């Protein structure tokens, strides 16, 4: 299996000196790379380049964004990963509709509503067959328990007699089986605020209630319990747009806009980015306001909306988000302190529909007690 040098550098760049010494035994190629004088410089510069996954025309692309020299507008599509159709005689590629990232693994839903777990680095896959037909209002999340056992949460949401109802199922990789989780709940997921994020094995998303509006909901894969997580400050003073996760520290991020106070107020609402520095087991969270933008100073072409996809880079203090399809031909928008950058498509030929922080890893996909990979033909 050939691994692109850029991905190898990313992995080794985060390794300790002791780990680098052990890595020299992996292969002659790795040994030569580590001993190369240029590697030290590459290792240093690696921290200023954000490597992200972009979903462009239903294909997964590895993209390098130079946030250190942001004024150069440098965005490079370095690799396109191909998810191959199982049992295909002609290596037919699969069209991907959505992806969810956890520990270097991608949980993908396809355009024909199938489910697969995929490690783009090793090209290992596991196709998951659901007990019931997957639908567009189903939400999936990949997580792991405290003993590093991976699971999938499926939230089957449907509309019935003027109300949203949700059924919950858990998929266990070891037993290769689904089971129903019976839990009472008073919330539902707004389709336009449906991004689900993974932090340290657990998942988080924005939920809504009829009486209390939006709040932060989570699922613990160890206890298999739902819990409500506190929002920063007075959660009635702002509108919550969306969630994200930082790359290295794996911290939850929140994008909000202040609600105007009064009809004739002269105050211009600000766009704020919050980072959760700590989340307790009881749902209590500590937040810091990381970035704040005066909306009056932001160009009209920078479009903020509910459920928007965004990334936060704490080291370079910037907010990164794709151009909105049908509104702007901009490939990426980058906002920071006195930085308002719009990046053109360059190597990409189409608008990015999804942007995900990607941390490559060699984690293996659990194949069950019989080491069986479930593969099935497209329906």
Are residues 99 and 212 located together in one domain of the fold? yes
Domain membership of residue 369 (yes or no) is no
Domain membership of residue 363 (yes or no) is no
Residue where a domain terminates, one of 46, 68, 83:
46
Are residues 170 and 227 located together in one domain of the fold? yes
* Neighbour tally for 271: CB within 10 Å: 20
170 contacts 178 by C-beta, under 8 angstroms: yes
Query: Is 90 exceeded by the pLDDT of residue 143?
Result: yes
Q: Count up the domains in the chain and report the number.
A: 2
Are residues 88 and 207 located together in one domain of the fold? yes
Are residues 123 and 272 located together in one domain of the fold? yes
Are residues 26 and 85 located together in one domain of the fold? no
Domain membership of residue 379 (yes or no) is no
pLDDT score recorded for residue 152: 96
Domain membership of residue 59 (yes or no) is yes
Query: Is 80 exceeded by the pLDDT of residue 154?
Result: yes
Are residues 120 and 159 located together in one domain of the fold? yes
> pLDDT tens digits for 222-270?
999 999 999 998 766 788 888 999 877 789 999 998 876 555 555 667 8
User: Residue 110 maps to which CATH number?
Assistant: 2.120.10
**Mean pLDDT of the 45-64 span:** 74
Are residues 20 and 152 located together in one domain of the fold? no
Are residues 299 and 272 located together in one domain of the fold? yes
Query: Is 80 exceeded by the pLDDT of residue 6?
Result: no
Domain membership of residue 180 (yes or no) is yes
Are residues 111 and 225 located together in one domain of the fold? yes
Are residues 189 and 249 located together in one domain of the fold? yes
Are residues 144 and 172 located together in one domain of the fold? yes
Are residues 118 and 183 located together in one domain of the fold? yes
Domain membership of residue 377 (yes or no) is no
- What does pTM read for this prediction? 0.80
> pLDDT tens digits for 357-374?
887 777 888 876 444 443
Domain that holds residue 80: 47-357
pLDDT score recorded for residue 289: 93
């Amino acid at each position: 299996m050939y691994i692109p040098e850029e991905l190898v550098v990313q992995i080794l760049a985060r390794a300790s000196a002791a780990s680098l010494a052990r890595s020299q035994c992996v292969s002659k190629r790795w040994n030569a790379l580590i001993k190369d004088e240029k590697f030290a410089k590459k290792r240093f510069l690696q921290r200023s380049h954000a490597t992200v996954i972009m979903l462009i025309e239903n294909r997964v692309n590895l993209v390098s964004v130079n946030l250190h020299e942001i004024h150069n507008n440098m965005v490079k599509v370095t690799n396109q990963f191909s998810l191959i159709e199982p049992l295909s005689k002609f290596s037919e590629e699969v069209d991907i509709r959505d992806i969810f990232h956890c520990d270097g693994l991608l949980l993908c839903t396809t355009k024909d509503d199938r489910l697969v777990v995929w490690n783009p680095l090793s090209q290992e896959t596991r196709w998951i067959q659901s007990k019931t037909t997957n639908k567009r209002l189903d939400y999936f999340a990949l997580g792991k328990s405290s003993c590093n056992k991976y699971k999938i949460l499926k939230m089957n949401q449907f509309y019935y007699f003027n109300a949203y109802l949700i059924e919950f199922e858990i998929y266990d990789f070891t037993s290769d089986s689904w089971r129903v989780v019976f839990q009472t709940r008073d919330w539902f997921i707004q389709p336009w605020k449906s991004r689900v994020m993974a932090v340290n094995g657990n998942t988080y998303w924005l939920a809504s209630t009829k009486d209390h509006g939006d709040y932060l909901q989570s699922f613990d894969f160890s206890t298999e319990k739902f819990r409500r997580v506190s929002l920063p400050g007075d959660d009635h003073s702002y509108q919550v747009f969306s969630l994200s996760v930082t790359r290295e520290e794996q911290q939850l991020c929140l994008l909000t806009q202040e609600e105007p106070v009064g009809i004739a107020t002269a105050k211009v609402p600000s766009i704020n980015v919050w980072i959760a520095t700590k989340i307790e087991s009881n749902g209590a969270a500590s937040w810091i306001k990381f970035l704040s933008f005066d909306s009056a100073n932001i160009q009209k072409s920078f479009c903020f909306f509910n459920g928007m996809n965004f990334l936060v880079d704490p080291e370079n203090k910037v907010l990164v988000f794709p151009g909105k399809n049908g509104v702007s031909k901009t490939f990426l928008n980058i906002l920071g302190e006195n930085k308002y950058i719009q990046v053109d498509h360059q190597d990409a030929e189409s608008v990015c529909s999804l942007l995900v922080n990607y941390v490559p890893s060699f984690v293996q996909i659990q194949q069950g007690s019989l080491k069986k990979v479930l593969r099935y033909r497209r329906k």
